[in-house]
Structure 1
Amino acid sequence: MALTYKSRRRWALLLLLIGLPLYIVASVTIMNWLGRPPIWVEFAVYVALGILWALPFKAIFKGVGQADPDAPQDPQ
């Protein structure tokens, strides 16, 4: 079932306002469990986790910043 433009915008907002901060807290907690790795390992882990969180939600974020394709067009 495909999501409408309006529902994708709502899900994207929910993910950015609630899901992303929770993911950041989880990522920092995981890094604290590892102790103090070398700075390049820490950087690589943060970059990987930063990219990894968005991959499952790619379909939700796609086209959200564009105009609503389902909205009626104004004849000019």
Structure 2
Amino acid sequence: MALSYKARRRWSLVILLIALPLYIVVAVNLTDWLRMRYDVGILTELVVFIVLGIAWILPLKPVFRGVGQPDPDARD
């Protein structure tokens, strides 16, 4: 079931304003836990941040696709 243009716009706003900040907090806590638990280096933290920074968008890509474009269903 495909989302309508309005639904994708609303969901993208919810994701960017609520879910993404929560995801950032989880990512920072995860790297802090890794640093305290396993004494990882700065390069390992960087790799974890890069992987987590890319991982959040992969399942949400269809929601954000075309949101910045004009509504395709709108009447001219």
TM-score (norm 1): 0.91
Greater than 3 Å deviation, 4+ residue runs: none
**What do the CA deviations read for 1:46-75 (whole angstroms, capped 9, x no partner)?**
0110000011101000000111101112xx
> Which of the pair has the greater relative contact order for Cα pairs under 8 Å at 6+ separation?
1
**What do the CA deviations read for 1:11-31 (whole angstroms, capped 9, x no partner)?**
000000000000000001111
* RMSD, matched Cα: 0.9
**Within 2, Cα distance between the matches of 1:20 and 1:52?**
12
**Within 2, Cα distance between the matches of 1:46 and 1:60?**
23
**Within 2, Cα distance between the matches of 1:2 and 1:30?**
33
What's the offset of the Cα at 1:38? Answer: 1.3
**Within 2, Cα distance between the matches of 1:60 and 1:28?**
25
| SS at 1:15 equivalent | helix
**Within 1, Cα distance between the matches of 2:34 and 2:43?**
14
Q: Name the % identity.
A: 56
**Within 1, Cα distance between the matches of 2:26 and 2:75?**
42
What's the offset of the Cα at 1:39? Answer: 1.4
Q: How does 1:1-76 map to 2 (within 5 A)?
A: 1-35=1-35, 36-73=39-76
User: What is the letter of the counterpart of residue 12 of structure 1?
Assistant: S
Structure 1 gaps, min length 5:
none
